[in-house]
Amino acid sequence: MQQYALIGRKLGHSFSAKFFNEKFEKLHIDAHYSLVELPDFSGFDKWLEARSDIVGFNVTIPYKEEMTRRCDCLTMEAREIGAVNAVCVRRGEDGTISLTGTNTDAPGFMLAVEDELTQIRRETQPGERPGALVLGTGGASKAVCFALKMAGFDITLVSRTPGHSSSAHNTTAGPASVRKTAQRITYADLTSEIMEANRMIVNATPLGMWPDTDVCPDIPYDCLDDRYFCFDCIYNPEQTLFMKKSAAKGATVSNGLKMLENQAILAWQFWQNGKNG
Ligand code: NAP
């Protein structure tokens, strides 16, 4: 039986085991997906050596960045974002193990929002570039920024602290037309002009996530109307306060469930390609 896994520090909240084990059962695939809690990344190699049946695994908080250094090979997405969330394991006949890492959060996000991005692009004045506000500067933000840059959006990062955007947010990946550094501002800098220039708003902070569902990012919701698309990376609860307040102003809203499902499906395809390649 093929074995897959999710490694992370605390996995009580994981969606992946249910998602993959239901898929295996439904499609009669002889495989199993388990949760592996590693209190420390130093335990990773010991775990991998002991599990000669592991053919692929996901990576979550807080090991996505450390895994980029542990992999033998990275896809362009993983290298540019600086985080790995899916790894394909290859074993040589001599027992050597080779790890290839990718990032499926970015394309997972892209697939979840492509209709809305197309709509925003259509409504952007000729000669101008569409703009997006990305709230938060952590791992989800880096994946979202990478995807939005590849889609030709100008990005403004909104953080609690002023400062320079990190290297992943400054990525120069992609064709010359998408090479632009994300600018970084604080919540206090969000004027009506900035809101007007950015019709897409992504909550990439944990604010509003269960069980703390009565909080939301501090943005001027009064500036929103039906031209805006507000995407929350959070998928639990289904309707966050950020989504409720945005929808009340007429904005189109979406939670992160589709992104989550897409990243899992893309990880599965990555493992299958690696196995057959
Ligand atoms: P993270 O690294 O813990 O935090 C992201 C950023 O949010 C931080 O860097 C910080 O940016 C900001 N932030 C943190 N606490 C805050 C607070 N109390 N108030 C305001 N801002 C705060 O989390 P992450 O891994 O990027 O994930 C963010 C969210 O996306 C989580 O809810 C996660 O579950 C979700 N997510 C969903 C998917 C999906 O597939 N749908 C994938 C990945 C993550 P500043 O310090 O710059 O303000």
Task: Tell whether ligand 1 has an atom less than 6 A from the beta carbon of residue 83.
Answer: no
Q: Residue type at 62?
A: P
Rounded to the nearest integer, the mean pLDDT of the chain is: 92
Residue nearest to atom 36 of ligand 1 (CA): 233
Task: Tell whether ligand 1 has an atom less than 6 A from the beta carbon of residue 15.
Answer: no
Chain segment 106-161, per-residue pLDDT in tens:
999 999 999 999 999 999 988 889 999 999 998 899 999 999 999 999 999 999 99
Distance (Å, whole) CA 237 – CA 212: 10
Task: Tell whether ligand 1 has an atom less than 6 A from the beta carbon of residue 137.
Answer: yes
Q: Residue type at 6?
A: L
Angle between helix axes 257-276 and 105-123 (nearest 10 degrees) is: 130
- Please compute the mean of the pLDDT values over residues 24-44 and round it to a whole number: 96
Asked if the model's pLDDT at residue 12 lies above 60, the reply is yes
Q: Are 90 and 97 in contact (CB under 8 A)?
A: yes
Q: Hey, which residues are catalytic here?
A: 64
Does the pTM of the predicted model rise above 0.85? yes
Distance (Å, whole) CA 5 – CA 116: 33
Task: Tell whether ligand 1 has an atom less than 6 A from the beta carbon of residue 138.
Answer: yes
What integer pLDDT is reported at residue 164 of this predicted model? 72
| Pocket residue to mutate for ligand 1, from 10, 15, 111, 205, most atoms within 8 A of Cβ | 205
What's the token pair of residue 253? Answer: 């809203």
| Closest ligand 1 atom, residue 255 Cα | 41
Distance 50 CA to ligand 1 centre (A): 33
Residue nearest to atom 22 of ligand 1 (CA): 205
Chain segment 69-105, per-residue pLDDT in tens:
999 999 999 999 999 999 999 999 998 999 999 999 9
Cα angle: 172, vertex 173, 178; to 5 degrees: 75
What integer pLDDT is reported at residue 180 of this predicted model? 55
| Cβ neighbours around 171 below 10 Å, total | 23
Q: Where are the beta strands (DSSP E) in 51-130?
A: 54-59, 73-74, 86-91, 97-102
Task: Tell whether ligand 1 has an atom less than 6 A from the beta carbon of residue 8.
Answer: no
Task: Tell whether ligand 1 has an atom less than 6 A from the beta carbon of residue 81.
Answer: no
* Helix or strand (DSSP H, E) at 133: strand 131-135
Task: Tell whether ligand 1 has an atom less than 6 A from the beta carbon of residue 36.
Answer: no
The length of the chain is 277
Distance 188 CA to ligand 1 centre (A): 19
Residue nearest to atom 2 of ligand 1 (CA): 138
Gyration radius (Cα) of the chain, Å: 19
Phi, psi of 64 (to 5 degrees): -65, -35
* Helix or strand (DSSP H, E) at 8: strand 2-8
Q: Are 185 and 218 in contact (CB under 8 A)?
A: no
Q: Given strand 131-135, what is the order of strands in its sheet?
A: 183-186, 154-159, 131-135, 200-203, 229-232, 252-254
